Structure 1
Amino acid sequence: MTSINGAGQSNLSYLDQLKGMQEKKLQEDQKVTTGQNELKQEDFLSLLTKQLAQQDPFKPVGNDQMIAQMASFATVDGITQMNEQFGSLNSAMTSNQALQASSLVGRDVLIPSSTGVKQAEGGMAGMVKLPQALDNMMVRVENEQGQLIKTFDMGAKPPGEHRLEWDGTDERGNVLPEGRYQLKVAGLVDGESREFDVSTYANVNSVLLGNGDGNVMLNLAGFDSPFKLAEVLEVGKV
């Protein structure tokens, strides 16, 4: 809203002046990479003082308009403070989560991935959740190239979660080298073969604070990319 004073000059409202000042600062920020780039409380008060000093004495700003502008200022200032408090709270919560997650280092966690890591000694473990009973649950083990390594029958299983154990050997009983392998589970449902989602256990190497997005990340042995702590389905026993 714009009013014209006795001298024929344009008298912008407090909010309009603030908007113009913000746009000017944005243009300056595109050219300057350092220095202040935010409006502070002093800028609001300066604009309000200038508006009062330059207003038309025959048409002064009404009380309702003044109250509305002061309320807008209070709202903006309150939102700024609230954002700062939320930022501090988020940082504190992330640090607390990272501290708690540090106790997972060296332990196994269950992640939503059918691909797991076999160490030089031993095999791999996983978990499958069956929505219904199966007469015979078949497990397939494949290497990174998708080649079949071993199959074994776990027999009839009721609905629910079931732990998978692979001893790390092939069909002939030879111990396979360390590396990444995939566990697949299938069974007959209404006469048709159906595969089910499998999760595997992985060992936690270290804990990261993430990329400033509030997520705590876990570096897992054998995986190039970290996993979010929120993705962990289960923590293995010590």
Structure 2
Amino acid sequence: MITTEGTDYVKSMQQSSNPSTSAPSNVMGQEDFLRLLTTQLQNQDPSKPMDPTSFVTDLTQMNQLEATTRMNESIMAMTKSFQGMQTMQAATMIGKNVQVDGEDFSHTSGSASQFRLTPEEPLEDATLVISSNNGMVREISLGSLGVGEEVVSWDGLDDQGNEMPSGVYSLTAYGTSAEGDLESINSVVASQVSSVSINDDGSMTLTLATGERVSMDSVREIGG
């Protein structure tokens, strides 16, 4: 009966996806299926004719499996294309200046470094502290800050007016709330992208000049 043959055909199509259990040359295609059907029709027992409903069901299953196979091949091709685009995008990120949430930043001697502070509530006596590996470099009074984003800058000088060399520095910002509590302030800093890696899930992780590794999602702004 075509029903059992069709069932075996469906199983063979499913098993063919596993190269360890079958080879591509042994997979039955649509032409083979129709040839088998024709042979069975020619040699069927007239007293027990083939059920046409079973034939239609088997043929439908075969078409669905072949359509699924073609769709999987298309998806794999799209995935490879997308991975190639990601690699190209990652390459263009190297050497770019980015703004990310954090405290460590890259400073270039002779130029000012800008930061963005984002207090979550109004603060008084806000203070910005710049530090290096050797300790505190500069303390800057910011006065009162409201809710939202505030752009501040450091001219690159220490408390004695000496110009600091290029390198990695850290900032700490804080202020006093209306209740008199000392509150830290979130900061967005600038750094340069040293390298980019693509994770298994397709997301990108940036390694900054500061040595910090951040996700692409944390990037607020990309510069030249």
Report the TM-score when normalising by structure 2: 0.69
Contact persistence 1:97–1:216 (CA under 8 A): no
Q: Which residue pairs with 1:188 in the alignment? A: 176
SS in 2 for 1:169: coil
The yes-or-no answer on 1:26 pairing with 2:44 is no
- Summarize the Cα distance change of 1:143–1:91 in structure 2 as closer, same or farther, 3 Å threshold: same
Contact persistence 1:134–1:158 (CA under 8 A): yes
Q: Which residue pairs with 2:101 in the alignment? A: 112
Measured after TM superposition, the shift of residue 60 of structure 1 is 5.0
SS in 2 for 1:156: strand
The yes-or-no answer on 1:16 pairing with 2:16 is no
Among 164, 173, 178, the residue aligned to 2:161: 173
Counterpart of 2:58, as a letter, is: M
Among 60, 66, 71, the residue aligned to 1:74: 66
- Summarize the Cα distance change of 1:66–1:180 in structure 2 as closer, same or farther, 3 Å threshold: same
Measured after TM superposition, the shift of residue 198 of structure 1 is 1.0
- Summarize the Cα distance change of 1:22–1:216 in structure 2 as closer, same or farther, 3 Å threshold: closer
Q: Which residue pairs with 2:124 in the alignment? A: 135
Aligned residues: CA RMSD: 4.1
Mind listing any 5+ residue stretches in structure 2 that lack a counterpart?
A: none
**CA offsets per residue over residues 103-147 of structure 1, 9 Å max, x none?**
x887643122211012233342211112222122111112247x3
Aligned equivalents of 1:97, 1:151: Cα separation in 2: 39
> What is the identity percentage for the equivalent residue pairs of Structure 1 and Structure 2?
17
Q: Which residue pairs with 1:83 in the alignment? A: 75
Mind listing any 5+ residue stretches in structure 1 that lack a counterpart?
A: 5-9, 29-35
Aligned residue pairs total 214
Report the TM-score when normalising by structure 1: 0.66
Among 217, 220, 224, the residue aligned to 1:233: 220
Counterpart of 1:166, as a letter, is: W
